[in-house]
Amino acid sequence: LDKATSGTALINGSTYRSMNNPLRTVGAMLDGPGANKGRTAKAHLTWIAQSNGIPPSRINEVLAMTGLIEASRTRIGGFSLGMGQRLGIAAALLGDPEILVLDEPTNGLDPDGIRWIRRFLRSLAADGKTVLVSSHLMGEMEETADDFIVIARGRVIAQGTGDEVRGDHSNLETAFFALTEGHSEYLSGGIDGGEQA
């Protein structure tokens, strides 16, 4: 949504801003549900659906897909962090988009929720959807993703399958640190965790 200082970002050959019905092409969850805490889950999804010409029947479908049917009339302020993540995913799925962009979807989920999201994302991909996930949890991404892109300071420094990006390293996290060495915007301090510019 932000204007690029250089270059372009296209989705199926078009910019996001130029799309007539963007939620039918791209569903995104950036920083949780982004919902008014006084609204219910159903009310939150209803206004999004109405503003994008999405049929009301889709609301219950995405609530069911994300396991939120029983919580549909609960105010979002009473949601756990994991339930908020599920609501954000439900909102991203409203337009039945072919592309999903999810930022840290496992944040705040308990082990059962993490296993659920892993299976859920794989099922969406198996149905032909493109699922892009940004995360700092390398171990979790190794369990979830098929292809990886490592970005440091706005530049792609590696991409490929897990084996290709991992290379000779024992795991993806070790490979990530080796690949990004010298590309960090800050340096970790000593044991106290201080940072230097």
Per-residue pLDDT of the chain (197 residues; tens, 9 = 90+): 677 788 888 898 998 888 888 899 999 998 755 688 899 999 999 999 998 899 999 999 999 999 999 999 999 999 988 888 899 999 999 999 999 999 988 887 888 888 888 999 999 999 999 999 998 888 888 888 999 999 888 789 999 999 999 999 999 999 988 998 887 665 555 444 444 33
Cα–chain center distance at 197: 29
pLDDT of residue 102: 93
Read off φ and ψ for residue 28, nearest 5 degrees.
-130, 145
pLDDT of residue 187: 55
Going from N- to C-terminal start, the domains of the chain cover 1-137, 146-184
pLDDT of residue 130: 95
pLDDT of residue 46: 96
| Sequence-distant (≥ 6) Cβ neighbours of residue 169 within 8 angstroms | 175, 178
pLDDT of residue 190: 47
| Helix or strand (DSSP H, E) at 32 | none
Q: Is the overall model pTM greater than 0.85, yes or no? A: no
pLDDT of residue 16: 86
Dihedral over alpha carbons 33, 36, 38, 42 (to 10 degrees): -50
Read off φ and ψ for residue 171, nearest 5 degrees.
-155, 175
Per CATH, which fold does 1-137 belong to?
Answer: Rossmann fold (3.40.50)
Nearest Cα to Cα of residue 105 among 120, 95, 94: 120
Nearest Cα to Cα of residue 27 among 82, 84, 105, 79: 105
